[in-house]
Amino acid sequence: MDTEKLMGSLACEVQGVEVLRDEPMSGHTTFKIGGPADLFCIPRDTEALCELLKWTRAEGIPALVIGGGSNLLVRDRGIRGAVISTARLTAMSQREDGEVQAECGVPLARLAAYARDLGLCGLEFAQGIPGSVGGGIYMNAGAYGGEIKNLVTETDAVTPSGELVTVRGEDHRFGYRESCFTCSGAVVLRTRLRLLPGDRAAIAAQMEEYRERRRRMQPLESPSAGSTFKRPTGFYAGKLIEETGLKGLTVGGACVSEKHAGFLINKGGATARDVLELIEEVRSAVLREHGVLLEPEIKVVGEE
């Protein structure tokens, strides 16, 4: 791919997009792992994002939209084509009907704090999830009994063919760590959430309790992508891994956290290959010991 030529064409045809060439993805993922993206694009608003998607389609360039990079493992060879970061799409507001509207790049933690300051409850669970609204909807992010699916009323999105659509209610098809966006390839632009009035101090206290619980239970001091595996029906992945005696198991720089066995962490210098090998070791050992096949929750992307 002639990235220099493509950058020239992009600069001429699409306004309002900053583009970096051969940008290491390790700087854009919470795992701190990942080879270079050919083109790393940062649109300044949703119009520029839509224009950029149109351009990648016309040029036949694969495009991956990312938010906080907190559920991604990017392979060591990096990503061919364009990675589009939503980091600057961070407008949020309260509408006249009381609903809160947020663009896809708003960090979930910032949205939760915004709701708290407005005295609206429902998003307390989200304050410690290091993802964005777009990633949160795509994954149906959830914690401590709360899920984004309980709050979202409507989402504006752009389909792979470039059509602007509004997804409503049940049509989001939210499930465990999935939504209609997981397989459709549509990109979330903004969403609207219905929250309930609550007591600001009580909301703040609940958020603080969750924050403390995370600090106590999760290896937040090490880079990771959160829980590596989905929760198998009737079990907890972390508990199965711990009972199999895998805490501390290491491949290169990747390690099963001693603090929470459901988290694979980057102890320093881990490659994607280390993590992928460790994932396979953990899966085989848990299958042997418990007869349960763990499915990764993290999304593995990039050139094999």
Ligand X SMILES: Cc1cc2nc3c(=O)[nH]c(=O)nc-3n(C[C@H](O)[C@H](O)[C@H](O)COP(=O)(O)OP(=O)(O)OC[C@H]3O[C@@H](n4cnc5c(N)ncnc54)[C@H](O)[C@@H]3O)c2cc1C
The one catalytic residue among 75, 177, 192, 283: 177
**Selected binder of ligand X within 34, 78, 134, 302 (CB under 6 A):** 134
Task: Classify strands 254-256 and 263-266 as parallel, antiparallel or unpaired.
Answer: antiparallel
Active site residue 177: yes
Angle between helices 108-117 and 200-217 (to 10 degrees): 150
List, in sequence order, every beta strand (DSSP E) within the chain.
Answer: 17-24, 36-43, 63-66, 72-74, 79-85, 92-94, 100-103, 120-121, 142-143, 146-147, 152-158, 164-168, 187-193, 196-197, 224-227, 250-251, 254-256, 263-266, 299-301
Judged by CB under 6 A, which of 70, 127, 191, 271 binds ligand X? 70
Q: What is the DSSP letter of 72?
A: E
Task: Give the residue, chosen from 132, 228, 257, 266, that forms a contact with ligand X under the rule CB under 6 A.
Answer: 132
Task: Answer yes or no: 161 catalytic.
Answer: no
Q: Which of 56, 224 has the CB closer to ligand X?
A: 224
DSSP line for 251-277? ETTEEE-SS-TTEEEE-SS--HHHHHH
CA-CA distance, 112 to 15, in Å (whole number)? Answer: 32
Confirm whether 227 is a catalytic residue.
yes
> Pattern 71-100, binding to ligand X, x per CB under 6 A?
xx-------------x--------------
Site for ligand X in 155-174 (CB under 6 A): none
Asked if residue 225 binds ligand X (CB under 6 A), the reply is yes
Instruction: Provide, rounded to whole angstroms, the least separation between the CB of residue 174 and ligand X.
Output: 12
Q: Is 65 in the site for ligand X (CB under 6 A)?
A: yes
> Is residue 40 involved in binding ligand X (CB under 6 A)?
no
Identity of the residue, 145 or 291, whose beta carbon is nearer to ligand X in the bound complex: 145
Active site residues: 177, 227, 297
